[in-house]
């Protein structure tokens, strides 16, 4: 792991490797390389700043200057700090002792909520043997209900839908009643995409939360997101205090620095990775692999 970073840093430090010692200037240069790599990977500007500051301080503090094999030391410090940033407490779905366990999906338009709703249903059926219902609470986006009916049906979940004429909050409440009656273990509530600055729709999301009292609120974040990811996560956090993140579209070639940034800024764990359009392309998230990918230069 971190071979690529290692190589890049070694190349940066090539001129001093012969001498075997590092000067303060060499460390500065290395920090510039790391900074660029992280920004290129869409890690948030502020997160990058803090990160490089910490690493720089540790490099100086560790008396690397003048030591043998200093390049290795720098890599080791970067490695450790990055793991600390990505890792920490890893989370899981919280199951309620009194089913159904309710999971509320939220996120920006097109981030992958509806797809993830079906994928998570399939995942929980397979991993936990749960019987799952899904609720169609997106009444705005054309054919959103049809979409959930199809993908929910494909994974064998019961789809609770009432078309598009009722209020999403009412549909959510009704779906929960139905799921209880049907003895479901899990109810996953799909919601419409919304901007974190859309007051009306953020209010609606809060009302859905109040109506179904979810045990888990998951924010679906597109892995291709840039610097705005932090804004989005902070504001969804402020509105509904979500519990964890699903990173979607990780089958692309984006480095996914948004993942690291959301984790760093909100402290919320990334629980799942969505890695394709097929409904079984869904897995637990591995922070170490992600860290490697972000620095894969």
Partner 1 sequence: LFEGDIDEDTWERLEEALIMADVGAQTTAKVVGQLEQEATEGGLVGGEALSQRLTELLADIARTGDGRIDVSHGPTVIMTIGVNGTGKTTTIGKLAWHLQKELGLTVVLGAADTFRAAAVEQLEQWSVRAGCEIVKGPEGSDPGSVAFEAVKRGREIGADVVIVDTAGRLHNQDHLMEELAKIRRVIGKQLADAPHETLLTVDSTTGQNGLRQAQLFSQAVPVDGIVLTKLDGTAKGGIALAIAAETGIPVKLIGIGEALEDLRPFDADDFAAALLSRGD
Ligand X SMILES: Nc1nc2c(ncn2[C@@H]2O[C@H](COP(=O)(O)OP(=O)(O)OP(=O)(O)O)[C@@H](O)[C@H]2O)c(=O)[nH]1
Binding site for partner 1 (CB under 8 A): 36, 39-42, 45, 108-112, 140-144, 146-147, 149-151, 154, 195-197, 222, 224-229, 231-232, 249, 251-255, 257-258, 277
Give the neighbor-by-neighbor strand order of the sheet with 282-284.
158-160, 132-137, 186-191, 101-106, 216-222, 244-248, 270-274, 282-284
Residues in contact with Mg ion, counted by CB under 5 A, come to a total of 2
Cα–Cα distance for residue pair 247/99, rounded to 1 Å: 26
DSSP 94: P
Interface contacts to ligand X, rule CB under 6 A: 107, 109-115, 138, 141, 144, 192-193, 195, 220, 248-249, 251, 274-277
Per-residue H/E/C for 234-252: HHHHHHHCCCEEEEECCCC
Shortest separation between residue 17's beta carbon and partner 1, angstroms: 26
Between residues 7 and 40, which has the closer beta carbon with respect to partner 1?
40
With contacts defined by CB under 5 A, name the span among 108-116, 168-176, 177-185, 235-243 that binds Mg ion.
Answer: 108-116
Check residue 152 and give left, alpha or beta (phi > 0: left; psi -120 to 50: alpha).
alpha
Helices (H), 87-190: 113-128, 144-154, 168-181
Shortest separation between residue 266's beta carbon and partner 1, angstroms: 16
Between residues 20 and 156, which has the closer beta carbon with respect to partner 1?
156
110 CB-near residues (< 8 Å, 6+ apart): 193, 222
Between residues 8 and 249, which has the closer beta carbon with respect to ligand X?
249
Between residues 70 and 112, which has the closer beta carbon with respect to partner 1?
112
- Asked if residue 114 binds Mg ion (CB under 5 A), the reply is yes
Could you give phi then psi for residue 85, rounded to 5 degrees? -70, -40
Between residues 193 and 256, which has the closer beta carbon with respect to ligand X?
193
Residue 274 interacts, among Mg ion, partner 1, ligand X, none and using kind-specific CB cut-offs from 5 to 8 Å, with ligand X
Cα–Cα distance for residue pair 269/276, rounded to 1 Å: 21
Between residues 188 and 258, which has the closer beta carbon with respect to partner 1?
258
- Asked if residue 248 binds Mg ion (CB under 5 A), the reply is no
Taking the alpha carbons at both ends of the chain, their separation in whole angstroms is 12
Residue 168 interacts, among ligand X, Mg ion, partner 1, none and using kind-specific CB cut-offs from 5 to 8 Å, with none
Q: Which residues bind Mg ion (CB under 5 A)?
A: 113-114
């Amino acid at each position: 792991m971190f071979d690529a970073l290692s190589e890049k840093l070694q190349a940066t430090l090539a001129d001093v490797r012969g001498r075997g010692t590092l000067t303060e200037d060499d460390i500065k240069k290395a920090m510039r390389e790391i900074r660029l790599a992280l920004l290129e990977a869409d890690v948030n500007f502020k997160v990058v700043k803090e990160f490089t500051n910490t690493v720089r301080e540790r490099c100086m503090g560790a008396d690397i200057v003048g030591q043998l094999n200093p390049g290795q030391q720098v890599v080791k410090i970067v490695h450790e700090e990055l793991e600390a940033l990505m890792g920490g407490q890893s989370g899981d779905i919280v199951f309620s002792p009194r089913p159904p366990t309710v999971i509320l999906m939220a996120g920006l338009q097109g981030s992958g909520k509806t797809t993830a709703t079906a994928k998570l249903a399939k995942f929980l059926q397979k991993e936990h043997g749960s019987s799952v219902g899904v609720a169609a609470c997106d009444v705005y986006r054309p054919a959103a209900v049809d979409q959930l009916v199809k993908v929910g049906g494909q994974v064998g979940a019961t789809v609770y839908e009432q078309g598009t004429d009722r209020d999403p909050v009412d549909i959510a409440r009704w779906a929960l009643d139905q799921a209880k009656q049907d003895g479901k273990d899990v109810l996953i509530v799909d919601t419409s995409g919304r901007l974190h600055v859309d007051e009306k729709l953020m209010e609606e999301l809060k009302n859905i939360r109040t109506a179904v009292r979810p045990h888990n609120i998951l924010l679906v974040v597109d892995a291709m997101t840039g610097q705005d990811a932090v804004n989005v996560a902070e504001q969804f956090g402020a509105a509904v205090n979500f519990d964890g993140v699903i990173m979607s579209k990780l089958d692309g070639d984006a480095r996914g620095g948004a993942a690291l940034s959301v984790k760093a800024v909100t402290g919320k764990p990334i629980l799942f990775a969505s890695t394709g359009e097929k409904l079984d392309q869904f897995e637990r998230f591995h922070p170490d692999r992600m860290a490697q990918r972000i620095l894969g230069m």
